[in-house]
Structure 1
Amino acid sequence: MPAVNPFALCVMNGTITVVGLGPGSDSMMTPQVLDAIRTADAVVGYTGYMKSIAHLIPDSVQTVATGMTGEMQRAEEAFALAAEGRHVVVVSSGDAGIYGMAPLIVELHASGRWPEVAVEVLPGISAFQAAAARLGAPVSHDFCAISLSDLMTPWEVIEKRIEAAASADFVTAVYNPRSRDRYWQIHRFRELFLRHRSPSTPVGIVRNVTRKDESVVLTTLGEFDPDSLDMFTMMLVGNSTTFFSGERMVTPRGYFSREERGLRPVGQSIMSSSFRAIAELMKPDSRPTDERWAVMHTIHTTADFEMQELFHATPGAIQRWHEALTAGGATIITDVTMVQSGLRKAALERYGVTVRCYLHDERVTELAKSAGITRSQAGMRLAAKEHPDALFVVGNAPTALLELASLLHRGGFAPMGVIGAPVGFVNVVESKHRLKAAAGATPIAVIEGRKGGSAIAATIVNAAFSLDEAEAMNPGRDV
């Protein structure tokens, strides 16, 4: 059975056509909308919009204009005129279905109070579409629009939608960002978005789009000025892939790889998103930025939030290691090659850092046999003699950490630092206690208890390498 148009069942004595005027310029109106206005018996709209199209309305056409918040009055008047058999045009800016008069007119018509009136809606070019075109191509992937006006929508609901858009990585168009009395909502919007997005996220701000006094600002989520926005402003916030190309804002569809565009790899974007999620889920604490950054790395590596409780470091250790490693020419000693494999190769090459593992050195086998110690202990003993100022990183062998603790306790050994993260059940906990007791002035980082491993030991070093990216949540720079 074919679908039935409910409007066709009415005795159509009059019609209401709801139209979108576009963002401002006459050139942005569709031919359908222009024709509807010129052939109307009456035009109804907000005073400001009526003034802007006065030159398009024939003198013989009746006009009804009301001020801001007069939507219901305008709608009732439109139905009253249409019930008399007139063709009434109700105008909205942009597209009438996006924060415009179309929903109100259609809802009133659904009440059945005016069965003799037919209703149609003609599309218009929305403000966010015009702003997007002016900026380039910022909404070429999944996007959403959010109005910050809480006149008819509770702020609690708006805030949930902001959180959802931010966490889902939608490109987001912001309507009604700020007015004289609603000045704080845009500040809260930015605060919520920064929980999920990098401060470097591209933002495009267009005021009075398509009009003579149009202005365009390209900025970022962390740097835009909320107090510079008003009701004539459209703001577009990019997603994690959006970038600036000259004066254009682009959200790629995926035709080209990120490497082909000279941007960071997709894996890096995933890492950044993961770190922002970790930051949101971590318990509040008083740790300084460098230590918290290292904790986040251990959580990212293990998916274990207990790391926040198990991680212990000398105050300022990560910061000191960052400065020493990025100064160039440093040496890192690992207990096993698995730790070496987990260090970021690009960072090692960039800063000229040498990584040594003595475990398979022929001299280590001889020393272990003659001294009656393990190869891991012998490797650390030999490395301490040849590279006394290195960063020593233990992720597997507790005996290696016991050896380093003994060397520190005896004195005369002052390395860049020691990372103690062996894993297991025999001598593991004891080795970490000994390191903490013997460290003295030597910076250390320890994973308390039996947990640890080569990947965790390596990721603490990677945290030191990337500490300058902590604020931007960009841990994968050196991948």
Structure 2
Amino acid sequence: MNQGRIIVAGIGPGDESMVTPQVRHAVSEADDVVGYHRYINLIEGWLPAHVSRHSTGMTHERARADKAFALASEGRNVVVVSSGDAGIYGMAPLILELCARSGVSGPELVVLPGISAFQVAAARLGAPVSHDFCVISLSDLMTPWDVIERRIGAAASADFVTAVYNPASRDRYWQIHRFKELFLQHRSASTPVGIVRQAGRDDESVVRTTLGSFDPDTLDMFSVMIVGNSSTFMSDNRMITPRGYFRHQEHDGTRPGQSIMINSFRTIAGLLKRDDHACDAKWALIHTIHTTADFEFEDIFQTSPGAVATLHRKLTAGGAVIITDVTMVQSGLRKAALKRYGIRVHCYLTDPRVPELAAAEGITRTQAGIRLAAKEYPDALFVIGNAPTALMELADLLHTTDLSPMGVIGAPVGFVNVVESKLRLKAACRITPYVVIAGRKGGSSVAATIVNAAMSLEDAQAMKPGRDV
């Protein structure tokens, strides 16, 4: 007897209107339809009367495949149905693998695509999978959990938009909790998340939330969850992952160099561990990480409440003075911004009075420079990026006198007295706004970039840095 044919067909998520004409035609010409009983029920309304139905329960995939081969061996035309797309967690791989493993010529095999549940979910949410994405099933019935966990970590760290199938069931309740934990190691808690239950069916529901806020216990086997990447955002209740159409100057008016900087800033923002940073502090922190490529600064960047916003207001009011401990800090400040706001910058290291005062008092030249500056410009912004002795001198003046400067940026770098100088400054700044890089890290470039961030704070909401570069 001639071998029949097996067609493995995806019937979509359950809405009759989402079944492709190709699949509908294949079913209409079938002798037999084989499938999970819920899927047979979904197409019962348009299944021709002459077609024989063969259904089994959950987890009986091998039995369905064997039935299809047995019917085809009788010369029958068989359609094996899967929900969504038959090649995505469906029957297609099992049918093809059985044929490959048999080592003998079998029936003609055809796979017909269908609309997958994650595609329907994505359409309901907006356009979340418009860039590189992956799909992960949390079911460990076929795949060891340690393999699934490695894939979750890889997807999270590689910034893939990630669709999640089989997130939870009655007995598998903890895996989705672990998924959330792993993703939060690499993604911001504010990352948009969409959850669609019963996608494409009458009782469909849609939830839009965030990675930090979604409740793992609300998901089940009928849920598909989509987690955005670092650039995904919400607008008018739509989840959108940009492809990059607006990166270039002809689209958004930015220069090529500025466009690169914008993308860098947005990448940094998406990789921060916390999403509760105040807007002004976050803006300066992103500048700092951009300058150093060091995400440890998220843990050591410290400010008094509203410090960067206060410095922005005072610096942009016009006529402010900035005092730096070394000329390297001075050279790192954006010249166009200084000119626009009429800001003067002074470094006392080259002042001829400094060596004489240092020798007379037995102090360092940077200490002497700070003493002179505090007398002549008590309202200045003091920016220390190199010398811990300068920061210690300033802290002592704040503690023992009525000195009340605009603010202090304390970012000296090194190993001797560096940590202590920063602790001393924070204790002395009772009312003075400050930004401090805790520990041994810092440097002139870091100190300067914090000032630049303060001068450009109005760009923070639009995440469009680099205007004065």
TM-score range, shorter chain: 0.7 to 0.9
SS of corresponding position for 2:229: coil
Shift in CA distance, 27/438, structure 1 to aligned 2, threshold 3 Å: closer
SS of corresponding position for 2:181: helix
Shift in CA distance, 448/171, structure 1 to aligned 2, threshold 3 Å: closer
Cα deviation, residue 229, structure 1: 1.9
| Match for residue 97 of structure 1 among 65, 75, 87 | 87
User: Is residue 347 of structure 2 the alignment partner of residue 359 of structure 1?
Assistant: yes
Whole-angstrom distance in 2 between the partners of 1:478 and 1:143 = 28
In 2, are the aligned partners of 1:318 and 1:464 still within 8 Å (CA)? no
Q: Deviations over 1:375-400 (max 9, x none)?
A: 74554123212454766332235674
In 1, are the aligned partners of 2:370 and 2:390 still within 8 Å (CA)? yes
| Match for residue 62 of structure 1 among 28, 52, 59 | 52
Which moves more between the two structures, 380-389 or 27-36? 380-389
In 2, are the aligned partners of 1:92 and 1:100 still within 8 Å (CA)? yes
Counterpart AA for 1:357: V
Whole-angstrom distance in 2 between the partners of 1:419 and 1:455 = 12
1:190 alignment counterpart: 180
1:32 alignment counterpart: 22
In 1, are the aligned partners of 2:187 and 2:230 still within 8 Å (CA)? yes
Counterpart AA for 2:212: G
Shift in CA distance, 61/267, structure 1 to aligned 2, threshold 3 Å: same
Query: What does residue range 153-164 of structure 1 map to in structure 2 within 5 Å?
Result: 153-164=143-154
Whole-angstrom distance in 1 between the partners of 2:86 and 2:406 = 66
1:147 alignment counterpart: 137
Query: What does residue range 65-464 of structure 1 map to in structure 2 within 5 Å?
Result: 65-112=55-102, 115-257=105-247, 267-268=261-262, 270-271=264-265, 273-274=267-268, 301-302=291-292, 318-319=303-304, 322=307, 325=310, 328-329=313-314, 333-340=323-330, 342=332, 357-359=345-347, 365=351, 367-368=353-354, 371=357, 376-388=366-378, 392-397=382-387, 400-401=390-391, 403-404=393-394, 407=397, 421-422=411-412, 429=416, 432=418, 435=421, 441-443=427-429, 453-458=443-448
Whole-angstrom distance in 1 between the partners of 2:125 and 2:400 = 65
Which moves more between the two structures, 291-300 or 208-217? 291-300
Whole-angstrom distance in 2 between the partners of 1:176 and 1:434 = 53
Counterpart AA for 1:239: N
Whole-angstrom distance in 2 between the partners of 1:304 and 1:241 = 20
In 1, are the aligned partners of 2:6 and 2:77 still within 8 Å (CA)? yes
Which moves more between the two structures, 252-261 or 76-85? 252-261
**How many residues get paired?**
440
SS of corresponding position for 1:19: strand
Which runs of 5 or more structure 1 residues have no equivalent in the other structure? 1-10, 281-290, 467-473
Cα deviation, residue 416, structure 1: 7.9
Cα deviation, residue 337, structure 1: 4.9
Whole-angstrom distance in 1 between the partners of 2:66 and 2:201 = 31
In 2, are the aligned partners of 1:205 and 1:216 still within 8 Å (CA)? yes
In 2, are the aligned partners of 1:321 and 1:464 still within 8 Å (CA)? no
In 2, are the aligned partners of 1:329 and 1:353 still within 8 Å (CA)? no
The two structures have a TM-score, normalised by structure 1, of 0.75
Shift in CA distance, 369/93, structure 1 to aligned 2, threshold 3 Å: closer
Counterpart AA for 1:97: G
Shift in CA distance, 164/227, structure 1 to aligned 2, threshold 3 Å: same
SS of corresponding position for 2:152: helix
Counterpart AA for 1:358: H
Whole-angstrom distance in 1 between the partners of 2:272 and 2:133 = 24
Counterpart AA for 2:126: G
Whole-angstrom distance in 2 between the partners of 1:48 and 1:137 = 29
Shift in CA distance, 173/410, structure 1 to aligned 2, threshold 3 Å: closer
2:278 alignment counterpart: none
Q: Deviations over 1:146-165 (max 9, x none)?
A: 11111111111111111111
Cα deviation, residue 455, structure 1: 1.5
Whole-angstrom distance in 2 between the partners of 1:184 and 1:258 = 44
Q: Deviations over 1:64-101 (max 9, x none)?
A: 11110000111111111111111111000000000000
SS of corresponding position for 2:351: helix
Whole-angstrom distance in 2 between the partners of 1:124 and 1:292 = 45
SS of corresponding position for 1:120: strand
Cα deviation, residue 39, structure 1: 1.2
Cα deviation, residue 102, structure 1: 0.3
The two structures, once aligned, show a CA RMSD in angstroms of 4.5
Whole-angstrom distance in 1 between the partners of 2:37 and 2:289 = 57
Shift in CA distance, 15/183, structure 1 to aligned 2, threshold 3 Å: same
In 2, are the aligned partners of 1:365 and 1:375 still within 8 Å (CA)? no
Which moves more between the two structures, 432-441 or 228-237? 432-441
Counterpart AA for 2:304: Q
SS of corresponding position for 2:354: helix
Counterpart AA for 1:225: D
Whole-angstrom distance in 2 between the partners of 1:179 and 1:234 = 13
Counterpart AA for 1:322: A
Which runs of 5 or more structure 2 residues have no equivalent in the other structure? 275-280
In 1, are the aligned partners of 2:131 and 2:243 still within 8 Å (CA)? yes
Whole-angstrom distance in 1 between the partners of 2:420 and 2:127 = 59
In 2, are the aligned partners of 1:335 and 1:394 still within 8 Å (CA)? yes
Counterpart AA for 2:69: F
Which moves more between the two structures, 97-106 or 51-60? 51-60
In 1, are the aligned partners of 2:411 and 2:442 still within 8 Å (CA)? yes
SS of corresponding position for 2:102: coil
1:7 alignment counterpart: none
SS of corresponding position for 1:383: helix
